[in-house]
Every structure is written in structure tokens, then in C-alpha cells.
Structure 1
Amino acid sequence: MSRIYLLTIPLTIGIITGLILVVFPESENDSKLFTVSKLIENGSPILGDSNAPITILEWGDYQCTFCYKFHQNTLDMINEKYIKTGKVKLVFKDFPLNGPDSLLAAQAAYCANDQDKYWQYHDELYKNWGGERTGWVTRDSLNSFAISVNLDLVEFNKCLDERKYENKVNSLYEFGREVGIDATPSFLVFNDNKIIKIRGNQPLEVFHKTFDELQIKNEINQN
């Protein structure tokens, strides 16, 4: 995934519903309209200031090699410079491409969210990444990660046993397909005026340029 794939999508202003973002598929007949809240809802808790003007919507898989590389490198730098300073917020949505283990890991993260430990558990999964389809995601390993972030294991395992979030994760995958996601990681980076799509684990400079472009557009629209 070394090639940069950026798609800018214009904003349509609705009279009643407010700001509407036009999201591909690229065919005009297949295009769908989603509000900003629709893009964000049902994903992870927001990382950063909920009022940050720019949103990164990341689509990822916990077994994905390039997702792991993004989280180990680029995200740390984005977090320090943009998220912690209130310029950008991040929402993660699951796009489990690597089979049942990815689906199970995604469910585990939402079970951790029941105990207000979503991001801690999310980070623990990537910290302990063991490759794609290698069998590192098991109930035992998930329990080990839960212990590391101080979860109540009884509650955590009850959540997994009941498959409480299986439908949620499947619906996120289907929603991703609806808006044109076909690989991980993929990102929709947007403000109230524009969406930019980034495909793959791109270098930090790509995100710098994207944030700058969205900031410039925002300033133009305010003048």
C-alpha cells in the first residue's frame, strides 16, 4: 500500500438536515448521503476533544499488518501534535477482513468499552499484534490483554460468551462497504466542508497535508 490514494468529496448543504457529506461509491447513481453524525455514530468512543474541527474516521482490522504499523508509528505522532492539542479527533470503526479472529478481537474491544476501557484495550491488541491469521487472537490471549488493562474478567467473558457486539461489528463492516471502504487501514478525514479519503498506511506527511488542506478550506468558508 505504498501509493497515495486521496479522494476529495464536496459538501452538499441540506435545507432541513443541515450539513450533508456526499460519500462514494464513485458512480453518481450509487452515491449515498450521510451526515457527519452518521459517519461517526456506532464506532469507538471519540479519542480527543469531541469539538475538534477535523475528524479522522479510521477503518481497521486488529490482525492487519498495515493497521499495526500505522498504530505503532504514525498514530503516535498524530496523537501528540493534533489530537492532544484539540485540532483533530479520532473515531475507529471495525472492518474485519481477516476472518473470525478479527471479528472476535473487535467484539472484545467493545466488551472492554463496557468497563470504560475501550482505548486501553484497543491499544493492547495492537501492542500484542502477532501477524495476520496466525492464531494469536484466542480467548486466552484476549483474557490476558483484559488483565493487563485491569478489566473485570467475569464481566468481560460474559460479554464475549453472549456475543453481545457481534451484530455491531458486522454492521460496521457492512457500513464500511456502503461508503466504499475496501481495504485496511482506510481513513475518511473530514471537517464540515469536505472529506478526504486516505487508503493504506501512508506517511505522516500525507496526514499533515490533509489537515492543512481541510484547515485552509475551513478558513475560506468562514470568510
Structure 2
Amino acid sequence: MSEISKNSTNSNRKLFAGLAVFAAVCLLAIAAFQMIDGNDEPETKAAAAETNPMFAELAKLARREANDPLALGKIDAPVVMIEYSDFQCSFCRTFGRTIEPKLISKYVEQGVLRIEWRNFPIFGQESENAARAAWAAAQQGRFWEFHHIVQTGAPEQKNTGALTPDLLAEFAAQAGVPNMAKFRADQESPASAAAVQRDAREAYALGASSTPTFLINGRPVLGAQPIEQFSAVIDAASNAAKNSPEHAE
């Protein structure tokens, strides 16, 4: 067998192994979403999460990469909230404008929470444009500034034709991206497309079909819920982490 054939076979094996893992996680996620999407009080949902073994598998999707420019908070924070989001989503904007800043102040700045953004562009080309531009801004350490500018300055309506690469470049300049030539190149690069596709595949594999979707230490929260919902789940996850055998060691 040629070296190329060997490499191809190895790549296929890795691909199929990865798909098998994602399929298993997908089943867990769908069951988890159905369990938590009821009319219970936030505290009841959070308590149920602590007794459900499914979430340990979903929690493994946290990347905890030291230099992840799309993450905010300590790499070893006891709680990781993965946020699957689309820049054109009105509920995502509501979360980003009104809820997320409070979570950052209450939990991220205190070292309790780490937020990991995942681009999940589900509303078409303009969502894809924004996701790739966000990744490009992140390469120069300005993702969260760009995130804020887009969520406050983009059209309230989806797919108006306004979110062009040129407008997104203007937003990047406003966000303080220092090298606009690099930003433009990164924005259109195969690397940006691959990064966005990786995040989207992860979300779809979970069975997520709407934005925003969150995993908080593996516990699903769907939509821009009231801050009480997020606080209940984060507090429960933090307490569980403190009482875990790993923490005791």
C-alpha cells in the first residue's frame, strides 16, 4: 500500500471514529434537551442536571484552549458555558446586550465561569459573513470588541443585505482591529471557513437547531432565558465542581 493510501485510510478511520463519537453525543444531547425544556423552576432544572449522567459527556466539548481568542475567562474556571450563536439572531442579541454582561461581571470576573463562543451561522450568507469576520477579528485579539460592535450596530432585521464583508470590516476597525489588511485576508481565508464549519458541525451534531443554544458544564440551556435561569445552572455547576472528587484531590 502506498504512503498516500495509508494516510487516506488513517484519515478515514479518524473521520468515522469522530462521527461515531458525535452520533453518541447527539443522542445524549437530544435526550438532555427534552428533559430540561419543561416548565420547572430554574432551581428544579439545575438540581435535575446534577443527577443526570449525560452531562458529563457533553461537558467534554469544552475546549479549554489556553490561547482561544473566542473565549473569555480563566482556562481552569470550574464552569464552562459554550455559546452557540448567530450574529443575526435577535435572541442572541438580547442575550449579548442584556444578560451576558451581567454574567461576565458576576461570574467571569470572579473566576467562576469561562465563556467559549461557537459560531453557528444558521440564517444564511450574511450570518456566514459575520461569523468569518468575527474569527478574523479574533486572530488579532479583538473578538469580544467586535462581538459588541456587531450586536449593537448590525440591522435588527435578518438578511437585509447590509452585513457585507465591507461593513463588517468597518465594524472591525471600530473594534480596534489593528491590521486591516490582515483582517481582510483572514476574513476570506480557507482557515476562517474551516473554523466556522467546525463550530457549526459541532452544534448540528448535538441536535441543536436554533440560536442561542448553551451548554453549561454540559447542561443545556436553550434561548435567551432570564438571568435567573443562567444563574441557577451556573451556581449548581459550580457547587458540583467544588464537591467533585477531582476538586477534593
- TM-score interval (norm. to shorter): 0.7 to 0.9
* 1:141 corresponds to: 167
Aligned pair partner of 2:70 in 38, 45, 64: 45
Q: Is the 8 A contact 1:40 1:57 kept in 2?
A: no
Counterpart CA distance in 2 for 1:66 and 1:44 is 23
* Runs of at least 5 residues in structure 1 that lack an aligned partner in the other structure: 13-19, 24-34
Counterpart CA distance in 1 for 2:75 and 2:119 is 20
Letter in 1 for 2:194: N
Does structure 1 residue 160 correspond to structure 2 residue 183? Answer: no
What is the number of residues matched between the two proteins? 197
Structure with a larger share of its residues in strand: 1
* 1:88 corresponds to: 113
Identical pairs, percent: 24
Change in CA separation of 1:163 and 1:124 when aligned onto 2, cut-off 3 Å: farther
Letter in 1 for 2:182: E
CA drift at 1:169: 0.8
Q: Is the 8 A contact 2:132 2:196 kept in 1?
A: yes
Deviations 1:16-58 (A, max 9, x none): xxxx9324xxxxxxxxxxx72x432687532011111001100
Deviations 1:134-159 (A, max 9, x none): 22211221121121123222111122
* 2:202 corresponds to: 175
3-state SS of 1:188 partner: strand
Letter in 1 for 2:187: L
Q: Decide which structure has the larger Cα Rg and report it.
A: 2
TM-score computed with the length of structure 2 as normaliser: 0.72
Counterpart CA distance in 2 for 1:160 and 1:198 is 30
Counterpart CA distance in 2 for 1:202 and 1:147 is 32
* 1:73 corresponds to: 98
Change in CA separation of 1:153 and 1:180 when aligned onto 2, cut-off 3 Å: same
RMSD: 2.4
TM-score computed with the length of structure 1 as normaliser: 0.79
Q: Is the 8 A contact 1:107 1:163 kept in 2?
A: no
Change in CA separation of 1:196 and 1:141 when aligned onto 2, cut-off 3 Å: same
CA drift at 1:163: 4.2
* Runs of at least 5 residues in structure 2 that lack an aligned partner in the other structure: 1-35, 38-44
Does structure 1 residue 104 correspond to structure 2 residue 129? Answer: yes
* 2:57 corresponds to: 22
Letter in 2 for 1:157: R
